[in-house]
């Protein structure tokens, strides 16, 4: 899954693809590099990011989704049902909702009706508060219980189980140790019986390990992706698709 951020303020590539043409060209490049799904987002979820109004988010993402969905799979990264609805109309077949259907009461019904895939991600609180002293009993058990509860909620809303994908939300309300523990024990989340999505790409936990700035985290991102894949992750949400794809190809060649 390649990341297409149509935002001025995303933590790693904010402002680079705010213009629709630049975002579309970037998405096409990621697809050539090997991305099977393009995840288009118009609102940054980095800690402390300013919320974006619905009209502005629609303006950013709809033309990009429309163009990229003509040639392949597109997911829409949003927590607003109106944005999801417009993106689905424009051709998106998957919703990536960092609030796991808690942000907008209309979201679950929309997904059930339109029969799209849904990524349910773990995040305590919201992006503005999530890094305020996050605490868990056992981080893996707590994330697992949260995701199991969100699966029940989605099923009760009429979303087919086969459409659900689960994500522990690396960097969302977690300390460095929490993120490392989740990557180390990712395999335990397979017990939930649904495909796993992992987004570790360029995140600040890598910088906390080695002091790297956001532009210096490709090696750490690839290491995380390869380890996550080896632990059973099904979808890797990444910015650097070509490099990650090569690393996975070599990993697969070695491991068979
Ligand atoms: N991470 C980000 C955004 N959306 N969705 C899922 N399912 N999993 C993730 O780990 C995830 C996500 C943050 O990364 P990015 O989109 O590059 O930054 P920003 O939120 O600042 O736009």
Instruction: For residue range 144-154, list pLDDT tens digits in order.
Output: 999 999 999 99
- Give catalytic status of residue 190 as yes or no: no
Which residues have CB under 8 Å from 10's CB, separation 6+? 41, 44, 46
Could you tell me which residues are beta bridge partners of residue 117? 94
| pLDDT for position 251 | 93
CB atoms near residue 158 (< 10 Å): 12
Give the separation between CA 76 and CA 178, rounded to whole angstroms: 27
| pLDDT for position 243 | 98
Instruction: For residue range 156-203, list pLDDT tens digits in order.
Output: 999 999 999 999 999 999 999 999 999 999 999 999 999 999 999 999
- Top pLDDT among 46 and 235 is at 235
Q: What is the mean pLDDT of residues 129-137?
A: 85
| pLDDT for position 38 | 98
| pLDDT for position 125 | 81
Q: What is the DSSP letter of 149?
A: H
CB of 167 within 8 A of CB of 199?
yes
3 lines ligand 1 (CB under 6 A): yes
Which residues have CB under 8 Å from 73's CB, separation 6+? 36, 37, 38, 93, 94
Instruction: For residue range 91-121, list pLDDT tens digits in order.
Output: 999 999 999 999 999 999 999 999 999 999 9
| Residue 48 banded pLDDT, cuts 50, 70, 90 | confident
Give the separation between CA 88 and CA 62, rounded to whole angstroms: 9
Query: Ligand 1, residues 13, 77, 150: which to mutate, most atoms within 8 A of Cβ?
Result: 77
98 lines ligand 1 (CB under 6 A): yes
Nearest ligand 1 atom to the CA of 43 is: 22
Taking all residues of the chain, what is their mean pLDDT, rounded to a whole number?
96
Q: What is the DSSP string of 144-208?
A: HHHHHHHHHHHHHTT--GGGEEEE--TTSS--HHHHHHHHHTGGGGGGG-S-BEE--TT-HHHHH
CB of 149 within 8 A of CB of 174?
no
41 lines ligand 1 (CB under 6 A): yes
CB atoms near residue 160 (< 10 Å): 13
| Residue 131 banded pLDDT, cuts 50, 70, 90 | confident
Whether the model clears a pTM of 0.95, i.e. scores above it, the answer is: yes
Residue 224: burial class (beta carbons within 10 Å; 0-12, 13-18, 19+): buried
């Amino acid at each position: 899954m390649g990341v297409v951020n149509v935002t001025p303020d995303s933590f790693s590539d904010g402002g680079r693809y705010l213009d629709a043409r630049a975002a579309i060209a970037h998405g096409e490049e990621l697809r050539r590099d090997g991305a099977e799904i393009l995840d288009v987002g118009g609102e940054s979820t980095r800690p402390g990011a300013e919320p974006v109004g619905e009209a502005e988010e629609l303006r950013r993402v709809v033309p990009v989704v429309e163009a990229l969905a003509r040639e392949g799979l597109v997911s829409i990264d949003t927590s607003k049902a109106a944005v999801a609805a417009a993106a689905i109309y424009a051709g998106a077949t998957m919703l990536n909702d960092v609030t796991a259907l808690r942000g907008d009461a209309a979201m679950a019904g929309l997904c059930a009706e339109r029969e799209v895939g849904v990524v349910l991600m773990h995040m305590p609180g919201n992006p503005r508060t999530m890094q305020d002293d996050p605490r868990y009993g056992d981080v893996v058990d707590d994330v697992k219980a949260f995701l199991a509860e969100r699966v029940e909620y989605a099923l009760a809303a009429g979303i087919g189980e086969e459409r659900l994908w689960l994500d522990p939300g690396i960097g969302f309300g977690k300390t460095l140790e929490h993120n490392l523990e989740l990557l180390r024990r990712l395999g335990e989340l397979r017990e939930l019986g649904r495909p796993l999505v992992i987004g570790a790409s360029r995140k600040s936990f890598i910088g906390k390990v080695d002091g790297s700035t956001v532009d210096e985290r490709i090696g750490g991102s690839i290491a995380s992706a390869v380890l996550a894949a080896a632990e059973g992750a099904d979808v890797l949400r990444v910015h650097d698709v070509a490099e990650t794809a090569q690393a996975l190809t070599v990993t697969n060649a070695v491991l068979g």
